[in-house]
Amino acid sequence: MHRRCKRRRPQRAPPEPDLVRIRDLVYQVAGIFHPDNKLRLLQDRCGRRMRELKVQSLREYLECLTIRPIRQSELIALLNEITIGETCFFRNQPQLDALRRIVLPNILQIKSKLPLRRLRIWSAGCSTGEEPYTLRMLQIEEAGGTLKDWVVEILATDLNERSLAHAKAAVYGNYSTRNLTTAWRQKYFIPQGDQFQVNPLARSNISFSRLNLSDDTRMTFMKGMDVIFCCNVLIYFDLASKRRVIQHFFNNLLPHGYLFLGHSESLYGVSEDFRLVHLPGATAYVKGERALPGGKSI
């Protein structure tokens, strides 16, 4: 008689406890969660830092992150390694068209009754700066039209210091600028060898700063926003961290304010506070109840 033997999957070794502790620390500090199947990636990033510090074991590296005097700067250095900054100019054209043709005119109409003609746009998780510079270029295009006499402040924040340094230098290669027409390159960039630097006009009126979206204290002080772009950032967060960040965005937006997420992101199951609006080729979330001309709401 044959005994039926079940084929067993090879057992994966349990993750190293010190790596799990580092995972928990990263999650606590930045809201970024590495599930078990992404732990190798985290280990690889820790490995880079360990080589730099000439540290031999994860246990010793964990000490660098928690009890040694370098702990704060080391945590920042590790977060610089972990955070992924894929981006480009004009990443989501339908979203930008909707901002220009529908969302901004709608906000201006509401705000025109107020004495102060000022708009605040926040690029949260701006990476190397392509998104806020794109927004600034659109603002320049509209400066003589829809935005005539309006002061527009663009705030651009990210957790990654290296990305922010790149953003401030504003020098980009062909990959980042691939969506730009020759006319836009000529209008807003200065060639620098085989790269391009954003020109001084398009670099003005943007303030870059380091901000951790999981830092509740700092997030409380980001009030008075008309539009928030937080595109392709929350994909690295687990549900609990997403909910906290989205609640801050809700509190930080003015009553008519809009939130834009990345192409494949949504607030489904995350928050019911916002109203989803369908714009041509894009969606947005609006805080207030007002119907949106040109867009369909559900």
Ligand X SMILES: C[S@@+](CC[C@H](N)C(=O)[O-])C[C@H]1O[C@@H](n2cnc3c(N)ncnc32)[C@H](O)[C@@H]1O
Write down the least CB distance from residue 215 to ligand X, Å. 8
Q: Rounded to an integer, what distance in angstroms lies between the CA atom of residue 211 and that of residue 252?
A: 14
Quick note: the x/- pattern for ligand X over 218-257, rule CB under 6 A, is -------------xxx--x---------------------
Helical (H) or strand (E) element with 286: strand 282-286
Return the number of the residue (22 or 213) whose C-beta is nearest ligand X: 213
Are 228 and 253 a contacting pair, CB within 8 Å? yes
Q: Does 212 bind ligand X (CB under 6 A)?
A: yes
Residues 90-109 interacting with ligand X (rule: CB under 6 A): 91
Among 26, 58, 89, 127, binds ligand X (CB under 6 A): 127
Which of 86, 149, 272, 289 is close enough to bind ligand X by CB under 6 A? 86
Q: Whole-angstrom Cα distance, residue 151 to residue 146? A: 12
CB of 166 to ligand X, least distance (A): 10
Q: What are phi and psi of 253, to 5 degrees?
A: -80, 145
For Cα atoms 175, 168, 261, give the angle at the middle one, nearest 5 degrees.
Answer: 65
CA–CA dist 172, 130 (Å, integer): 9
Q: Which is nearer to ligand X, 64 or 213 (CB)?
A: 213
Q: Which of 84, 108, 110, 276 binds ligand X (CB under 6 A)?
A: 84
Choosing from 158, 227, 248, 279, the residue that interacts with ligand X (CB under 6 A) is 158
Judged by beta carbon, residue 146 or residue 250, the one nearer ligand X is 250
What are the strands of the beta sheet with 195-198, ordered from one edge? 171-172, 195-198, 189-192
Question: Can you tell me the distance from the alpha carbon of 119 to that of 258, in angstroms, rounded to the nearest whole number?
Answer: 12
Name beta bridge partners: 286.
Answer: 258, 275
With respect to ligand X, which residue has the nearer C-beta, 42 or 126? 126
Residue 30 as a binder of ligand X (CB under 6 A): the answer is yes
- CB contact at 8 A, 120 and 150: no
Binding site for ligand X (CB under 6 A): 30-32, 83-87, 91, 125-127, 131, 158-160, 163, 212-214, 231-233, 236, 262
